[in-house]
Amino acid sequence: MYEFTLADVAYLTSDAGAEALARVGERELSTRTRLADIGWVRTHFGDRTSLLVETVLVRRKAAAKISGAERWVLTDDAVQQATPGPVAAHRARRLVGRAVHDVTCSVGAELAHLVGVAETVVGSDLDAVRLAMAAHNVPQAHLVRADALRPVTRNTTVIADPARRAGGRRTHDPAALQPPLPDLLDTYAGRDLAVKCAPGLDFDSLGWDGEVEVVSLDGGVREACLYSPGLALGGARRRAAVLRSDGTGFEVTDTMPDDIPERAPGRWIIDPDGAIVRAGLVRHYAAAHGLWQLDPRIAYLTGDALPEGVRGFRILEQFKYTEKSLKQALSRLDCGIAEILVRGLDIDPAVLRPRLKLKGSRSLSVVLTRIGRTPEAFVCEASR
């Protein structure tokens, strides 16, 4: 991986660098053409080849997360940790009109969504190279080199995104984040604070007295964010934000009712969005849509109608699960392709699927779970 320097950033942000990037950006740089393309770049730009090729490739990777990434200067690591645009925009709407300081601003992905929304936008980082990149990417922000654990602003709402890797591996240990999460919380105690975290953290163990919001985008859980009491909305302690790239979505909070009936399975099975499951709001979501749980300890929901826009599984057959009984049912139903979903049972779909020896013409879905202590199989048709 290329190690950028301040001199590299100065070149890339110059007129000559912009022209060079435009020309290299016209190359395909695919697996098929990579050697020939790099040879062409080396002929025209000599020892700046690695710098230019890396920047073009990172820009292409960033396009899925950052609007206007084709004009940005950034690193591969920064892109990996950058918040996707719709998620950053969702957070920015909570901070309208505030003076906001992103104390781990990196190359500016979060700053770009705060500019024009917040009254004042400040970014700081210890990495001088990333800070120089942010100055190019988001020139409207006020930038300063500073340690996130040494406050340099007053009366600002603080945003922090601690690095979630330790020793090159992703970590769920709050103390292993960089900077450590407990230290961040101590440093900004009493201030309005938003801290982005991995959704796998054990939030209850933190003793957090504000709001925890878990956010998904297009079905994938992206992050959790801790909001201090001054940023919490509507008295919620837990919130799930289910976002979609087309701008639609919905929220579920622990202020909503969670009374649901205990009934036999309905016509449909629904696998709730991961943000709802991670936030512990399965019952609240179910109550809002007239659903109930297959089992009170399992996140699968059931009901006689699907919530609008939600993918569900219409039950064709239900029976006590054994591999033999499932194989017989799928054969009888002429199944040749099976989508297998599992909760509450120690079954690996990738191991099970070839053992079923499917030969039919239909595509069906299989939900494997337990109700009480009994392993159950549901053979279903997916709604889409």
Write down the pLDDT at residue 175.
77
- CB neighbours (10 Å) of residue 38? 17
pLDDT at position 227 = 97
106: nearest Cα among 71, 145, 139, 64:
145
d(CA 64, CA 139): 22
309-337: per-residue pLDDT in tens? 899 999 999 999 999 999 999 999 999 99
User: Tokens 């505030």 label which residue?
Assistant: 98
> DSSP string covering 303-360, please?
ESSPPTT---EEEEEEEE--HHHHHHHHHHTTEEEEEEEESSS---HHHHHHHH---S
DSSP secondary structure of 119-139: SEEEEEES-HHHHHHHHHH-T
**Long-range CB contacts (within 8 A, 24+) of 346-354:** 352/323
Say if residue 54 is exposed, middle or buried (CB neighbours under 10 Å; 0-12, 13-18, 19+).
middle
- pLDDT given at position 171: 65
In the chain (384 residues long), the average pLDDT of successive 10-residue segments reads: 95 98 97 96 97 97 95 95 95 97 97 96 97 98 98 97 68 78 93 92 83 96 96 96 94 98 96 96 98 97 94 98 97 97 97 96 98 97 94
Instruction: Specify the pLDDT at position 24.
Output: 98
How far is it, in rounded angstroms, from Cα 30 to Cα 36?
A: 10
pLDDT at 356: 96
The Cα 307–Cα 271 span in angstroms is: 12
3-state secondary structure (DSSP) of residue 52: helix
Alpha helix (H) ranges present in the chain? 6-12, 15-25, 34-45, 49-62, 76-81, 85-92, 111-114, 128-137, 181-187, 274-278, 282-288, 323-332, 349-356
